[in-house]
Structure formats: C-alpha cells, structure tokens
Amino acid sequence: MCGINGIYDLKTIQNPRQIIESMNQSMVHRGPDAQGIYEDENIVLGHRRLSIIDLEEASNQPMTTSEGRYTIVFNGEIYNFQEIKNLLPNYPWKSKGDTEVILAAWQEWGLNAIKQFNGMFAIAIYDKVKNDLHVFRDRLGIKPLYFYYNETFFLFSSSVKSILESGLVPRKLDQDSLIDYLRFQTVQTPKTMVEDVFQLEPGNYIRVHQDGIEKKTYWALEKDYLPVPRNYDTIKEKVRELLTASVERRLISDVEVGAFLSGGIDSSLIVGIIKKELGRDISTFNVNFAEEEFSEAKYARLIADKYQTKHTEINLSPKDFLEKLPEALNKMDHPSGDGPNTYIVSEVTKKQGITVALSGLGGDELFAGYDIFKRIPEVQNKKWLLSFPVYIRKLMAKGLLLKSNSIASRKVGEVIKQPYFDSEYIYQFNRQVFMDFQIEKMTGMHKLPVNSSFALGHEKIGFDTPGWNLPALSKISYLEISTYMQNVLLRDSDQMSMAHSLEIRVPFLDHKLVEYAMGIPDFAKYPHKPKKLLLDAFDDLLPEEVWNRKKMGFVLPYEQWMKNELRGFCESNLNALKEVGHFQNEEIDKLWKQFLNGNKILSWSRIWSLVVLGNWIKENQIEG
C-alpha cells in the first residue's frame, strides 16, 4: 500500500523533480517506509511505500525492468501474484514482492496482463522505448487515482492534495461537482471538487502518449457478470467457495493482519471463515463509541469468544471522538459527509501494531443488506400509480407534504412524479441529502445539472444498455456500488485509514465474487431476513444473536456538539463556505439558524455536510 505521483511531458515544466518531491512529501502518511523518484527525458515518477509484502529494499519503487525499458509505480496489492509469477519462470527475478510480478507480466503480455490481476490497485507503467504511459485503476475502485491534463502535460496522483501541492493545477471549485456534493455529500466519479481534476473510473485505464490521451474500459460491473443457474443449493455452495477463497487471498502479508469486528454479519463472517474454514488465528478489533445499551461490543465479544481470537476492545468516549474530529477533517483528501469514524478506528488499530486490517465493507451492497433492496421492489409493485396523469401524481405529492412536511415525504413525492418506476428513476432520491429545491435556494441556480446517479443508471442499466438484463436486485447493487460505496465508503476508507498508514482489505470486493453475485437471480438474494443468501451459505458460522437483531451503528451526540462545543468550529467553516461565491449567503445563515432553533426537517447531518465542505475549501485554499 503506497502513494504514487507522476508528470508526463516535461517540456513546459520547470524543476519537475522538485515538484514530485513536494507531492511525495504531502502524502508521507500513505508510505512512511521508503520513497523514490524516477526521471527520464519526458517523465518523472514518484512513490511513497508502506511495506507489506516483501519488506526488503529490492521491492522499493519506482522499479525498472533489468533492460531499462519499463518503469512502474504502484499502489495496492496483487493477491494472486505468486500464481502469476509461476507462469513466468524465465523472468530474472530480483525481489519477492508483487510489484515486480506486475512488471514481468506487462513485459510478457502487455495490456492483457491487467486481466490476470486479482487485487486492489492503481498502477502507472512507463515504456521508455515507445515513450508512453499507461495508468490503471482496479475493477471496483478500491484504490484512488486522480489526474489532471491540459494541452502540455499529464499529471496523476493517489491524492487530490498532492495534485494541488504540485502548483500546476488551479485551486478552483468545480460548480457541477458542488451540486453533486450538496445532493450526496460526495462527488461521483469521474468528477472531483476541483475543476479539471478527475478520478479515473474503476475498471478503466488511460494511455498517454505524444499525440494525446486515450481512456478505455477493461472491466465493467454492468456487463462483466456471470449467468447463474437457478439452483439455490448450487448458488449457496458457490458463494461460500468464492468468499472463502477471497478471504484466504487477503491474508497474504509479511506483516501482521488483523480484522475489524463490529459484531455485524459481514465482519463476523470474515472472522468465522478465517478461523473455521482456513484454520488461521487472527487478531480482532472492536472500537466502540456508544453507551452500553446501544453498543454492538457484546456481539463482537460473542464472535471473538466463539472463535478464540486475540480480541481488543477499544472504548472511546464521545469526548475522545470530539477532540479528534477537527483533526480528522483536516486529513480529508476529498470532502465527504462521513469519514471521521474510520479515521479514529484506524488510528487506534494502528496503535495496536496492526498494519493490515480486513473489513466487511461491500457485503451490504452485494447481498441486499440495505432497506432499499426492499423499498424499490415495493415501489415497482405499485406501477398502477403510473396510470394516473402526471398532474394527478403531483397533487398526490403535495398532499403528502400537507400530511407530513418531512424529507422522507418529499422523497416519496419526487418518486411518485417520475415517468417510470425503473431503478434509475427512483434510486436517485435514495441517498440525496439536500433536495433540489433546497439546493436551488442555497445556490440561486434555477436549473441544476442532471442528477449524476440518474445519469449513471440511465446510461448503464436503463433499457437497451449493457446492464439492462441484470437481475432487478443486482441493478440496485450496481447503483449502490457505483455511487455510495465507491464514492463515500471506499474513498473514506482509503483516505482515513491511510492517514494512519493502515491498509484496509475488503474480501467482499474480490472481482470473482462480485461477477458471480451480480448474476444471482432475485429469488435467491431477496432479503426475507438480513442478507439471507449469505447467512444460508454460511449457516454453521454465525449464532442467531448476531443476525436476528436490529442493525446498529455509532450513536454520537453530533447535534448537541454542533450547538455547543463545535459551534464556533461550525460557524467558522460555514463562513468559509460563503466566501467562495457560489451560495446565497443569507440562505446558509437561515439554515444554520433553523438548525439551532431545532427545526426537525433540518437534521444535523445535512448541516454537517456544509461544515465539512467549508473546512475542506478553507484548508485547501480553494477559490470559487
């Protein structure tokens, strides 16, 4: 796990090595163990290393093939590198790690090498002979890769902050991305909050050469899935086989591996697989913020006792969390309405001597763990509503608001007004934070950009698109994975864990498991009980107490903090937000006063997303 940087085409760049040194320095936390720089006539590459596989200097980067043609910088892990290495017996190996395996595979197979890799990665490979650069991102977007280009050069990095640190990119806010953030507390790939800085889409690569750049897709969630036979016993066996293999791959390491154990289904399953299926010992970590009656710690203890793990229970008070909150926000590479929880969990885990931790992230998205996997089918069963003219349905929506003027009622009203009840039409409101009418008031804009989640769904899984034949529940999985998971959960996991030089691995996002799960028919996946298929596949691993209960989470008094201990912090950052010139400032003041006065429609999380954005703009000196 590392951080990578690079600049291609240096004709107009002064002191390129010094720029890369500054970019490397800005993300020491991503790789505190070693750094390196490669320079050639037309390119400079930088690397920061967190040593996990092959701790020797021979695996330091940038790494160049023996004849000097190919040079690589790489962030991530290739879990099947030993299998690939066995296919290349004639290569003159100098190290024992996965980086050199990528180079050897590239030298042998070229672009076809990427399809061999099972892992999480952002890779850049420079060909000195052809004078071209290829940059790749893994299939599910676990590892970040940001880039900027103009008519004279191409710049890439693992970090938005490092790109800004280069001094080559204007620190200007992207207006369309601002609307995206106000809707979703994040910005959907490929955009970022900085104008003309992009994030490479998962499963894509870019080739940069003297005549320009080309972007292509090598894997796509909506079409690279497998047809699954309608036999429930066979499906259960295959899910068990694939998840077990995935967990086993993610235990490969030359440093100690631990596991987050929240006490929920996904993390508990991973621990059960490690101990019972694989016969391995594991250290588990439960970080708890809540009072005992809200705590999941007892369920984590139950699993830890059942599988005799080396269990560490870390109890943090709200005061501990409060003290860390501003620090966590200042470490945020890209603004997000969530993230501080992961920052603090990662910090305490790292202090226990763990460098790699397994997480249950992805289980909900793949195996229908959210309420939306029930809500959308329920709406689609009410297609008779579409027989009413639109003006009648608009009246129904107004009636809902008269009955209950809540955000939930507004969302239901928006759904009723849609021309169709297909997933892409109704999903777009699922994770929306501020509704469009509120955003129009805040920004003074009368016509907002098309909702990005609708545009994505319409293009990829709408009628007559690559994914339109996906099972209905897998269409919801597609939308969850491509929006919330990739652009909130994975982004936050990476930026907040790497702030403490901790690598998080996600067994549920092994692409072989994902390809199979996306093709599973709805009857097998429908959550009659929480993640029914997953529980049935591993029916011998989890006691009923773990899954037959209400889903829980961190319970923290954010609203109270924002009105008291964090009030000055919030007001300072809301003022910073007003200075960028994209807001109707009186509306920001009005929202803050409504929140302070206890307006129930205006939840703390909506105001908090504005505070986070203001803090990020201020810390990164972003201009309107």
Residues with catalytic function = 2
Scored b (16 or more CB within 10 A) or e, 97-113 reads bbbbbbbbbbbeeeeeb
Q: Are 276 and 243 in contact (CB under 8 A)?
A: no
DSSP classification of residue 273? I
Closest CA to 289 of 311, 321, 256: 321
Q: How far apart are CA 208 and CA 302, in angstroms?
A: 53
Cis, bond preceding 377 (omega within 30 deg of 0): no
Count the neighbouring beta carbons within 10 Å of the beta carbon of residue 4: 32
Q: Return phi, psi of residue 339, to 5°.
A: 125, -40
- Long-range contact set of residues 554-561: C-beta below 8 Å, sequence gap at least 24: 554/289, 554/290, 554/341, 555/289, 555/290, 555/291, 555/294, 556/289, 556/290, 556/318, 556/321, 557/318, 558/604, 558/605, 558/608, 559/604, 561/318, 561/322, 561/325
Name 165's Cβ contacts closer than 8 Å, sequence gap at least 6: 22, 23, 25, 26
Angstrom distances, CA of residue 610 to CA of 34, 183, 185, 453, 466? 37, 11, 9, 20, 36
Note the residue count of the chain. Answer: 624
Q: Are 478 and 461 in contact (CB under 8 A)?
A: yes
Q: How far apart are CA 89 and CA 83, in angstroms?
A: 11
Q: Are 357 and 350 in contact (CB under 8 A)?
A: no
Query: What one-character-per-residue DSSP string does 583-611 give?
Result: S-HHHHHHHHHHHHTT-TTS-HHHHHHHH
Q: Which amino acid is at 196?
A: D
Angstrom distances, CA of residue 100 to CA of 54, 58, 295, 604? 11, 9, 45, 48
Token look-up 């003219």 returns: 389
